[in-house]
Amino acid sequence: MTGVVEVNFDGLVGPTHNYAGLAAGNVASRRHAGRVSHPREAALQGLEKMRDLSRAGYAQGVLPPQQRPDLGFLRRLGFTGSVGEVLSQADRQAPALLRAACSASSMWTANAATVTPSVDAPDGRVHLTPANLQSGLHRCLEPVTTGRILQAIFADAERFAHHAPLPATPAFADEGAANHTRLCAEHGAPGVHLYVYGREALGQAPGPRRFTARQTREASEAIARQHGLGEAQTVLARQHPEAIDAGVFHNDVIAVGNGPVLLYHEWAFADEDATLAALREKMPEPLIPVRVPAEAVSLDDAVATYLFNSQLLSNPDGSMTLVVPGECEHNEAVWRTLQDLILAGHNPIGEVRVKDVKQSMQNGGGPACLRLRVALGEAERAALGGRVLMDDALHDALVGWVGRHYRDRLAPEDLADPLLVDESLAALDELTGILQLGAIYPFQRGA
């Protein structure tokens, strides 16, 4: 496969973006519960990140949001009648279900799927498994439509292999690429896959005490098996339970890898030495670990600023750029560590770009949560369906679309407003036209 680059597919923030505090173990989501959100600003912040990175020469894609409120979910739970009746019954009888049905959480596409590039798969195809996201009620609504969207974009069966999500049961709780890091010399070279899990469903490893770990070892193993990866290509590591209890609900909140570089906090892994040793043993090229000790950045600061939820991007000259959330700039210890330890250290990271994704951050999603990494060769990129690769024209079309359809603000009580349904469906219908994706949404398929 020639011309392999990493395409970052960012999730477009949907029109119902709101703060309902739904996410377990996610400090920011809980802290902002009940606040007024700003969907238009949220979507524009995401689009600005996409445009900035595509203009800087990084391959950038976009994934559409999901249909919300999820009326099909509410109807399945016994709410009946017109749209207005379903919403008002749910609001009165089970407001938590209404909030789950309205979450715009599909924006965090690092949780959409796990992807293995064709260079690593035995059949030479790109493999994709939508995450079952079964550990959160609002998120377990995503996999079916995620699968449909991925099938529409990665449609060529000779190049792309789609797997069903793992069984949606606690033993196979899977949160997708947020717990998966591929290390390699460069994107087109064979990689070693680091899967990080928080608990064992069938084994005895001690889990966190305060929060439930979201990813199981059994889920990570099953994904590697589905994608045909052998033992020589995979490393499994347990997340440090204390990090999970401090609010590190995914590995990508405490570590990020790219090429041979692994930037991580000393509390990322339960057994740091064994994890690095296993990577070194399996990687053909030397691992470049960039370790941030707790005395430089505390776990609390890591969680508050999302320093590690950064995108680490490869540049043509071999250097790398770290795309960090704006919150890092306002924390002295984190900013100093970025300058003195990360940028000044002996590693390829030579530049920091700061991005404001505050609307997403307040729900616990930083720059890295907002994107799904897919390493693709030239021919694979040419085979993509739809109009999903970002350029200025697509950016401008999407900014115009947001301006036409999104509300400036959403308060918790607005979620029961039937007009929000009409507005969202009109927006999504137009969006499938812009992205040329066909009927991906339930309402377009007569459901």
Scanning the structure block, which residue is given the tokens 């499994």? 236
Catalytic residue (one of 265, 369, 380, 405):
369
Pseudo-torsion of CA 222, 228, 232, 233, nearest 10°? -80
* End-to-end Cα, the chain, rounded Å: 40
Residue 378 annotated as catalytic: no
Q: CA geometry: angle at 17 spanning 15 and 19, to 5°? A: 155
Nearer to ligand SUG, 118 or 359 (CB): 359
Catalytic residue, chosen from 41, 142, 175, 218, is 175
Q: Is residue 332 flagged as an active site residue?
A: no
Q: Which residue is associated with the tokens 């947001």?
A: 402
What does the alpha-carbon distance between residue 193 and residue 180 come to, in Å, rounded to a whole number?
A: 7
Backbone angles phi and psi of 31, in degrees to 5: -65, -35
Between 8 and 29, CB nearer to ligand SUG: 29
Minimum CB separation of residue 175 from ligand SUG in Å reads: 7
Instruction: Work out how close the CB of 115 gets to ligand SUG at its nearest, in angstroms, rounded to a whole number.
Output: 14
Q: Which is nearer to ligand SUG, 207 or 438 (CB)?
A: 207
Q: d(Cα 151, Cα 146) in Å, to the nearest integer?
A: 9
Q: CA 232, CA 5: separation in Å to the nearest integer?
A: 23
Nearest residue (CB) to ligand SUG, 249 versus 401: 249
Of the pair 248, 390, the CB lying nearest ligand SUG is at 248
CB-CB contact of 46 with 414 (8 Å):
no
Where along the sequence are the contacts to ligand SUG (CB under 6 A)? 20-23, 26, 29, 103, 105, 108, 110-111, 136, 139, 178, 249-250, 252-253, 363-365, 369
DSSP H stretches of helix in 37-110: 39-55, 71-76, 83-93, 95-102
Q: Quick one: DSSP state of residue 283?
A: -
328 is an active site residue:
no
Strand pairing category for 113-116 and 126-130: antiparallel
Rounded least distance, CB 177 to ligand SUG, Å: 8
Q: Which amino acid is at 256?
A: V
Is the Cβ–Cβ distance between 139 and 176 less than 8 Å?
no
Give the nearest distance from C-beta 439 to ligand SUG in angstroms: 26
| DSSP conformation class of 104 | -
Pairing of strands 191-197, 320-325: unpaired
CB 55 within 8 A of CB 392: yes
Q: Which lies closer to ligand SUG via its Cβ, residue 334 or residue 410?
A: 410
Of 250, 265, 395, 405, the catalytic one is 250
Smallest distance, ligand SUG to C-beta of residue 120, A:
21
Cα(15)–Cα(289) distance, integer angstroms = 40
Question: How far, in Å, CA of 447 to CA of 441, rounded?
Answer: 9
Task: State in angstroms the smallest separation of the CB of 190 from ligand SUG.
Answer: 25
In sequence order, what are the beta bridge partners of 321? 313, 351
Q: Shortest gap between Cβ of 191 and ligand SUG (angstroms)? A: 20
Nearer to ligand SUG, 37 or 314 (CB): 37
> Where in the sequence numbering do the catalytic residues fall?
175, 250, 369
